[in-house]
Amino acid sequence: MKRLPIGLIRFVQYAVAVLLAVALFAAVTLLADARPAYALPEYAERTGEACATCHVSPGGGGPRTLRGLLWAARGRPDSVPPLPGVLMAPGVGDGSELYDIACAACHGSKGDGLFAIGLTGMRISKPAIRSFVVQGIPLSGMPAFKGQFTNAQLDALATFVAGLADGSIPPLPDSYPLPPAQFKCSPVSATVKCGVK
């Protein structure tokens, strides 16, 4: 029997090995990637959450919030896990301060609107405000703050926003002038000597 040239046998062996490797690689990637992939803003559509749930910037993209990080760490499920017991502003009781911390970035520091609509002059009740804050408004960009405020904080916030809305709380000032300094200091040798004016 005529023997095949050794070079040809080597070539066939080599080709079969390469084909097997490619097939194995394709099978592994296909199996590992069985979950459908989504383009990034589609995360919002799939989870029913606003961009701001996962991104620090209300418009989406860039650094992620704690919940966004947690969601990615859990393997990007269809719903964003809550952060139970993580208060946004522990110890803060003042409604206007809470507003400044949680709402001003979108509704404007004076409630006059920024990324989101202005709240001043709006006809809206306290319970409705509270419910919007807790539940959010899916896909509008208004995040849900469930679990991030205490009951008392929610009350203070709703009272403040309702006051802004119906005008019983006057529009906030542009700035708060500081009282003049109480102490007058003059450097004396190496130490600083201070006294009341």
Site for ligand HEC in 11-30 (CB under 6 A): none
Is 111:164 a contact under the CB 8 Å cutoff? yes
What does residue 25 show for φ and ψ, rounded to 5 degrees?
-60, -45
How many residues form the binding site for ligand HEC (CB under 6 A)? 41
With contact defined as beta carbons under 8 Å apart, do 86 and 145 qualify? no
Strand, helix or coil at 15?
Answer: helix
Rounded to a whole number of angstroms, the minimum distance from the CB of residue 32 to ligand HEC is 16
87 counts as binding ligand HEC under rule CB under 6 A:
no
Q: How is residue 100 written in tokens?
A: 């400044």
Asked whether position 169 contacts ligand HEC by CB under 6 A, the answer is: no
Taking a C-beta distance cutoff of 8 angstroms, is the pair 78, 110 a contact? Answer: no
Q: Which of 95, 108, 111, 129 binds ligand HEC (CB under 6 A)?
A: 129
Q: Which residue in 144, 145, 153, 162 binds ligand HEC (CB under 6 A)?
A: 145
Rounded Cα–Cα distance for residues 114 and 74 (Å):
33
Please name the residues in contact with 175: beta carbons below 8 A apart, sequence gap of 6 or more.
Answer: none
Nearer to ligand HEC, 32 or 196 (CB): 32
Q: Is 126 in the site for ligand HEC (CB under 6 A)?
A: no
* 155 CB neighbour count, 10 Å cutoff: 15
| Positions in 39-58 near ligand HEC (CB under 6 A) | 40-41, 43-44, 47, 49, 51-55, 58
Contacting residues toward ligand HEC, per CB under 6 A: 40-41, 43-44, 47, 49, 51-55, 58, 60-62, 64, 68, 71-72, 80, 102-103, 105-107, 115-117, 119, 124, 129, 132-133, 137, 140-143, 145, 157, 161
